[in-house]
Structure 1
């Protein structure tokens, strides 16, 4: 059975089969709704079902608490229609310049950035180029239909390669391979670009960039893009880690602060040990933003990292610092462990 879905306030419509998700049907129809993980963990695709009913597949309770679901909120990435629907969601203008493609790539370089972060540089076939926006991600196509998602860590105008920052998750299907058996010249297949985490260039508002761990990868791409377009916007980068070594490109960020007018870098460490000799900011990274910016009503925030960081930042920035909810853009890095919780 096929149902009709109407998106408000845009008025766009598309058809959705009973056995497919609202998000999948929307993307198939060229209606781009906000999304991130596509598996019910990050909450980026959350919107309201104004009329009609849906049935949700497996998802994280923190991404869609029962109280929100009772009020009509939905995760469109795991919601299947039970009737015609009217949904409330921010629609993102589609751009044919960024088609999603399946492509082979060859590993051009593997470089350890820290004890548990590996840089992978991918070389594309001759005469092929992946058109993407800084901040977006690709999905590696693994055996048995499994996929693993990683954000591009370089802006699209830079380098002949696509670079990624992969954190080792012991026991991880893909990351164990990255840190043990993968080698240069190996072939990896991926699909991309994916996601709606990218710079909104129609604004002149000051920017807060918030990263935890390897959430720095797409943030790095955003900074490089801002440099490329010669943006005059004020930029504050807050990068958090448990230990100083987690800030694996700390020196690059310090260089940006020296070279980019209006750019500030605030590293934050939550669990420094005495032997780290850390003299910088301590605590949770999103709380450092709150301490420095009591009023975020005139800002845009781009946040990327662990789900707990993203969830806490969105909640506290909107509740305590008057950040408009529609000026918080995020990419929540969910692992298989997150999905199992």
Structure 2
């Protein structure tokens, strides 16, 4: 039904092929409605900037709000694709998203957290540990993120760098990797004024970047910069669960120090015999004495894999890396589009682009 009466009750949204369904009101985005009702829709930035929430519309009418053309091109829009983060239902709608499963999402909660510790991992990366309230466990998938709610209501998103099982260890808290973006509202505070025991507010978990455990396909993990944070959580989860699927981690940075937990990765190799590690540096200088792989990290994968048709790829980091990887792996290496899972680290500057 698509009458005014049905609008008051909300429009019926169905996601195929899982058959998951929920109700969306005209004054909320389809994504917001799905999150509110525990439907695991894919998404990233929630601002029309990254394209992670792109779905094929099989039937129904929607209006699309402002978005970037790199997230949804005019040709894709003509082809029936929508971004659920800026799409409002105007009738009952049927979407296609093979990333949606029958499993429900974890409840999203607001909570205060206390800064447990801050440790510099490089000149512009801090590892932040946050203590959760006693008796209020945060349920999440390894790879998901939380949002900081700042005093003025502005939000900033950061991926959790540890797996859920690690929270059982006393004094662990959730781990975040914060890169300093000079002039950044939140990161200037982290690097200039934040102190241990400071109280912050977070909300989460968010995101659809987590290991699909119903597959036995080999895995390519692609990280640029602090995109390593959720990948680290995936690796911890895989080790804890005994996931023995072959996995290759490609971690890219401009200079060797950008691979700020390189030693940690090497320490995991002995414990995870099916894990390979390929660090890649794009702007090494002679004094770095870098003898490893050079160039762009997403291209290193293409140099090593002529055919990705039987793989899953998990990519995280700068939007240019994630976008290039998805395009090239699908178009040039045969990767099925629905086997590419990503979390593009979209900054406020990225969101301001046309």
What is the TM-score when the length of structure 1 is the normalising length? 0.96
Whether contact under 8 Å (2:280, 2:297) holds in the other structure is yes
Call closer, same or farther: CA 1:130–1:12 in 2, change over 3 Å: closer
**1: CA distance, partners of 2:267 / 2:36:** 42
Total equivalences in the alignment: 340
More off after superposition, 213-222 vs 81-90: 81-90
Q: CA deviation at 1:23?
A: 0.8
Q: CA deviation at 1:133?
A: 1.1
Q: CA deviation at 1:36?
A: 1.4
Whether contact under 8 Å (1:107, 1:187) holds in the other structure is yes
Residue number in structure 2 paired with 1:209: 221
User: What RMSD in Å do the two structures reach over aligned CA positions?
Assistant: 1.4
Residue number in structure 1 paired with 2:184: 172
Whether contact under 8 Å (1:206, 1:234) holds in the other structure is yes
Mapping 1:273-284, distance limit 5 Å: 273-284=285-296
Of the candidates 47, 51, 57, which is equivalent to residue 39 of structure 1?
A: 47
Q: CA deviation at 1:324?
A: 1.3
**2: CA distance, partners of 1:39 / 1:175:** 20
For residues 276-307 of structure 1, the C-alpha deviation after alignment (integer angstroms, 9 at most, x for no partner) is 12111011101101111111122111111111
Residue number in structure 1 paired with 2:17: 9
Mapping 1:140-159, distance limit 5 Å: 140-158=148-166, 159=169
For residues 10-62 of structure 1, the C-alpha deviation after alignment (integer angstroms, 9 at most, x for no partner) is 33433222121011112223322111121111111101222232222222210
Describe the SS at the equivalent of 1:329.
Answer: strand
Whether contact under 8 Å (2:142, 2:230) holds in the other structure is yes
**2: CA distance, partners of 1:7 / 1:114:** 43
Whether contact under 8 Å (2:64, 2:88) holds in the other structure is yes
Of the candidates 337, 340, 349, which is equivalent to residue 328 of structure 1?
A: 340
Describe the SS at the equivalent of 1:255.
Answer: helix
Residue number in structure 1 paired with 2:249: 237
Residue number in structure 2 paired with 1:54: 62
Mapping 1:65-144, distance limit 5 Å: 65-90=73-98, 91-95=100-104, 98-144=106-152
**2: CA distance, partners of 1:9 / 1:204:** 20
Whether contact under 8 Å (1:30, 1:94) holds in the other structure is no
Residue number in structure 2 paired with 1:305: 317
**1: CA distance, partners of 2:20 / 2:249:** 36
Q: CA deviation at 1:126?
A: 1.7
